[in-house]
């Protein structure tokens, strides 16, 4: 089996791997290059000692499932908090529209519960019109649909037998559940089955990114 | 006043915090949590979660105040520097 990171992995290797990954989620490396190099240098130390690039600012618990959520870049697991903080825990990654990453270094202030936040989930180009895909917003599973140039977000779980709506097909403004054909309006989350409507979330499109509006 | 630093040996902010405290002649105790044996680590991580509400490092405890990250302004204020 070929390892993701071979022995002798360098800072340049990590940058090349992580940059497109982060960009697809609306993030870039901190503009403070010395800091980026220092964090990645620490990650290589951790890689050599443990076999993966765990976040140098978070502690590993020994539980593989929990520790997987701090493998760098850990943006998908913490995207609600990060969008509110405008950076990842340590500030290795910052939101695309942050001009000066120096302002975000040092302090780790977890956002207050209840604050409204726009969470980038993908780039406009990642979701062709007439299609639907899965997105993770914090712990919530979302079906993200595109009709023309309009984007819609709704809970991914069909309330019939809990099929994944993001694997369904889009028929106009209707997503059809892949399991048993229940139909939901992506604009409202409504279905013609009683009491089985699903939650929808506002969506914003900005600078080529699709952002789902939610609360921390 | 007791000053206690929970740190990770691998964390840039922890190194910056240690350096800052040393440069300002602050007396403090430090635990590098990642270097503890597994059993002890579990106990200390639970303490850190109680103190800070998370598992980000460093966590600096100054008397009753808890400072997470490398926060110069907060350190200055609470350490009276």
- Tens-place pLDDT, residues A118-165: 999 999 999 999 999 999 999 999 999 999 999 999 999 999 999 999
**Partners of residue B12 in chain A, C-beta under 8 Å:** 35, 38-39, 42, 56-57, 90
Is the peptide bond between B39 and the residue preceding it cis, with omega within 30 degrees of 0?
no
**Over pLDDT 70: what percentage of chain A?**
99
- Would you state the pLDDT for residue B1? 82
0.90 surpassed by complex ipTM: no
Spell out which residues of chain B touch residue A89, defining contact as CB-CB under 8 Å: 56
The pLDDT of residue A62: 83
Q: Would you say residue B50 has pLDDT above 70?
A: yes
Query: Which of A38, A46, A108 has the CB atom closest to B56's CB atom?
Result: A108
Find chain B residues with C-beta within 8 A of A85's C-beta.
Answer: none
What pLDDT was estimated at residue A133?
97
Q: Which long-range contacts (CB under 8 A, 24 or more apart) does A134-137 make?
A: A134/A164, A134/A166, A134/A167, A135/A166, A135/A212, A136/A76, A136/A77, A136/A79, A137/A79, A137/A80, A137/A201, A137/A212, A137/A214
Q: What is the pLDDT of residue A2?
A: 64
A92 has a pLDDT exceeding 90: yes
In B, minimum Cα distance to A92 occurs at: B12
- pLDDT tens per residue across span A50-68: 999 999 999 888 889 999 9
Over residues A22-27, the mean pLDDT reads 96
List of residues 6+ apart from A26 with CB closer than 8 A: A95, A96, A120, A123, A209, A211
The pTM score is 0.90
pLDDT surpasses 70 at A1: no
CA–CA gap between residue A93 and residue B60 (Å, rounded)? 24
Nearest CA in chain B to A67: B55
Residues 6-65 of B with CB under 8 A from A: 8, 10-14, 16, 33-34, 38, 41-42, 45, 48, 53-57
B69/A107 touch (CB, cutoff 8 Å), yes or no:
yes
């Amino acid at each position: 089996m070929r390892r993701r990171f071979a022995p002798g992995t360098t800072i340049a290797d990590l940058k090349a791997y992580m940059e497109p990954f982060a960009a697809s989620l609306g993030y870039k490396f901190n503009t403070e290059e010395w800091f980026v190099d220092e964090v990645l240098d620490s990650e290589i130390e951790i890689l050599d000692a443990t076999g993966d690039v765990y976040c140098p600012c978070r502690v590993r618990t020994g539980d593989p499932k929990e520790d997987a959520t701090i493998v760098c870049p850990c943006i998908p697991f913490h995207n609600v908090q990060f969008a509110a903080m405008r950076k990842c825990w340590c500030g290795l990654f910052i939101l695309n529209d942050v001009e000066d990453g120096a302002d975000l270094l040092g302090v780790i202030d977890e956002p207050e519960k209840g604050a409204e936040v726009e969470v980038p989930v993908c780039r406009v180009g990642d979701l062709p019109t007439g299609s639907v895909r899965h997105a993770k917003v914090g712990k919530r599973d979302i079906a993200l649909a595109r009709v023309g140039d309009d984007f819609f977000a709704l809970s991914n779980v069909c309330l019939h037998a809990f099929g994944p709506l993001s694997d369904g097909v889009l028929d106009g403004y209707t997503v059809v559940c892949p399991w048993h054909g229940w139909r939901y309006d992506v604009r409202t989350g409504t279905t013609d089955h009683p009491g089985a409507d699903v939650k929808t979330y506002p969506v914003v499109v900005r600078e080529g990114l699709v952002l789902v509006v939610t609360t921390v | 006043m007791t000053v206690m630093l929970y740190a990770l040996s691998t964390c840039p902010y922890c190194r910056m915090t240690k350096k800052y405290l040393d440069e300002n002649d602050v007396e403090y105790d430090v635990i590098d949590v990642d270097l503890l044996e597994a059993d002890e680590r579990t106990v200390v991580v639970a303490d850190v979660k109680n103190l800070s509400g998370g598992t980000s490092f460093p966590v600096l405890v100054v008397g009753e105040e808890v400072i997470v990250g490398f926060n110069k302004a907060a350190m200055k204020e609470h350490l009276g520097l």
